[in-house]
Chains A and B, each alone.
Chain A
Amino acid sequence: MYEKFKQSWLSNLKGDTLAGIVVALALIPEAIAFSIIAGVDPKVGLYASFAICVIVAFTGGRSGMISAATGAMALLMITLVKEHGLEYLLAATLLTGMLQIAAGYLKLAELMRFVSRSVVTGFVNALAILIFMAQLPELTDVTWHVYAMTIAGLAIIYGFPYVPVVGKAIPSPLVCIVVLTAVYLLTGMDIRSVGDMGELPDSLPIFLWPDVPLNVETLMIILPYSLMLTVVGLLESMMTATIIDDLTDTKSDKNRECKGQGIANIGAGLIGGMAGCAMIGQSVINIKSGGRRRTSTLIAGIGLLLMVVFLADWVSQIPMAALVAVMIMVSIGTFSWESIRDLKKHPMSTNIVMVTTVIVTVGTHNLAIGVFVGVLLAAMFFANKVGNIMYIGSKEIEPGKEREYEVVGQVFFASSERFIDAFDFKESIDKVTINLSRAHFWDITAVQALDRVVIKFRREGTEVEMAGLSEASATVVDRYAVHNDPEAVEKLMGGH
């Protein structure tokens, strides 16, 4: 037990500590920015980020991944906060946590295999675009000072790492915030600061139960939001976990991560925080900074809270332009630029899935809907592709009397019409033989199509004989677990 503890907490202490601090620093502007998106005080996002980060460090299934208040989740809360207020958001957060724990026990993480790569890319790109769009209100109807500050901020973020020695030792977003805050305070220019956006935490969080009536009406208000939050939270967490798995070449426990996210959200809700999930950008920063183990996540959470509580006066003086610069960086880092380059290489169907996911998400501001449409589209393209793998040939055995049709390939809902059309019912003939031994009937639609073919021939007075029907229809049955039995696969799919 101690060994396990040591492995998952202490085996990379130096890297984890430094990375945790870097992440904590980067989490502060994000948590504030996402609170503003959701329409709540910055402290709601900051408390949430603290709670989620610290709890997931213990309960999560992917070490080195950073979870906190996120943009994807914040976007889903806007109307709830606007129409019903913060207390309902906290209640929805608690419910989200419970639903996520349930999802973990039901092993719903396994459903992730239906989410194709192009949907994931679309999700990530849409997320980046949404984070960027969320910054636009800060950049419209403002004086030139804000633009100048934002551009200066971006220049520091991307330029500072090239400074020798200190460039790679001090997080450049931090430098950006410190410098811009100093400029703001020294010049006294009239631009908005974090303090103008709402209340900041001035104390350690306290336990509080959401002040909502516990009745069905409340449930009906929060349930739709909680469901969306659950889905988006788990989707982003699972996708981020996969990204970290790839980066570090290690495995994660996705179902444990679901439960861990749930527990973390319950914790966040109980100290007045909003629901959150794993963050792609922050997790990448963590890995890049050398964080690998649970310790990095824990330090990030605790560091965040300490800095915010003790530096609250200073945090409130940060100009919004500095936050905007940091968030533009996050959105740039999150966007998958390779996906644009790969548009030319990838097949059109893949591109359509990716782009549609992005468009639907950006249009609805809801990642769950975007992913749903993307998955559906991908499944349809797949069905269409497989449906094309069907060929029906025929030869006359005796001219004017007997003909044999041979069906090769996959017959199911997507190909059944083509299946029927391939038979020539107008031919005046005594007998047809339909050889199905190299065909696969995948569903009831296919079986019914075959019935219709037989009936149509009979109505023309043609006798129908079928060969190989039992082999062909073996695939109709659900749950033929053959994936790990080469002989069974050969039997089922033989002849192709």
Chain B
Amino acid sequence: MTDQVLAAIDGSQFSEGVCDYAAWASLAMDAPLTFVHVVDNHSGVPEEQNLSGNLRFGARERLMKELSELDEQRAKVNREHGKLMLEAAKERAIEDGVSDPVIRQRNGTLVESLLELEKEMRLLVVGKRGEIAHQATGHLGSNLERVVRELHRPILMVPKTFKRPEKILMAFDGSKTARKGVEMLARSPLFAGTECHVLIVGAETAERRSELEWALSTLREAGHQAEGAIRAGEVDEALQAYEKEHSIDLLVMGAYGHSRIRHLLVGSTTTAMLRGSKVPVLILR
């Protein structure tokens, strides 16, 4: 099974968006939908700190008992909580028209679990912020960045509310990966019949112009209505400005570099975009 749409659910306010977008992707791609909730039971420390700093008879055994009981309680609550959310997500997806969504629950950290499930997924849908990080607005969920960096599948990051994507913007830099991305976009059933925009950020040159023309013609051949532009400036700012002007509802971009050095150079743009963008962002591999 390499063809599932996997949606990662947590308790944050983005879950409804995750549900709806996942349902939409599942229907458009005609792929089975699976909701995953990851229970991470070991991230915590007891609420009430004991700073007495002494060791009594059987201190280790007692501490072991205390900590495992605490984890146990927390795990049970988390699992129940997760099950309820999964059920809710499933119901919502059925309402959206998905015939038979599957729900799964795993123990561990989000990144670990998603990497384990990588083989089964064709597309991952996640909310822009995780449960714990939701207070810090504009900040990417602490887990998300690692997921994006380590997973080798397309990832759709979605905001709180669903809006059917009609106008797509592709960030294009003429690189080999980006060209592949354009081809993928053109073929993808996910975007059949949508209006595609292509934006190259940089100074206007003949080379860039021809790259843009190639991208547009590829998209038009696939039956999309396509237009594009070349804009100077910072990548993230230019993209955001374009996004606003044309009321774009989904942004497509290339991935973080997987090597650390590349990540420092290239990935920062992706991260900035993920933080700034109000619309869903699809990251291609």
Contact = CB atoms under 8 A, between A and B. Distances in A.
Interface of A: 1, 3-4, 6-7, 11-12, 15, 18-19, 22-23, 25-26, 157-158, 160-161, 167-174, 243, 246-250, 280-281, 284-285, 287-290, 292, 329-330, 332-334, 336-338
Given A248-B42, A290-B45, A174 B53 contact: yes
Nearest to B66: A288
B56 A332 contact: yes
A424 B152 CA distance: 68
Interface string B27-54: 0000000000000011101101111111
B203 interface: no
From B43, B45, B146, residue with most partner A Cβ within 10 Å: B45
Contacts of B58: 336-338
B49 A15 contact: yes
A333 B52 contact: no
A62 B188 CA distance: 46
A333 B51 contact: no
Contacts, number: 108
Contacts of A173: 53-54
B51 A289 contact: yes
Contacts of A337: 57-58, 61
Which 8 A/B pairs are nearest by Cβ-Cβ distance? Answer: A333-B55, A171-B53, A161-B52, A333-B59, A22-B53, A15-B45, A290-B49, A337-B58
B63 interface: yes
Interface of B: 41-43, 45-46, 48-61, 63-64, 67-68, 71, 142, 145-146, 260, 263
B63 A247 contact: yes
Contact of B57 (A4, A169, A285, A332): A332
B51 A284 contact: no
Contacts of B60: 243, 247, 280, 284, 333, 336
A284 B49 contact: no
A336 to B, nearest CB: 7
Contacts of B145: 3
A168 B54 contact: no
Nearest to A12: B45
B142 A3 contact: yes
A3 B149 CA distance: 11
Contacts of A11: 43
Contacts of B59: 284, 288, 333
Given A18-B49, A170-B51, A337-B57, A249 B71 contact: yes
B63 A287 contact: yes
Nearest to B263: A1
A292 B49 contact: no
B54 A329 contact: yes
A25 B42 contact: no
Contacts of A243: 60
Contacts of B52: 160-161, 167-168, 170-172
Q: Which of B43, B46, B54 has the most CB of A within 10 A?
A: B54
B53 A25 contact: yes
B175 to A, nearest CB: 23
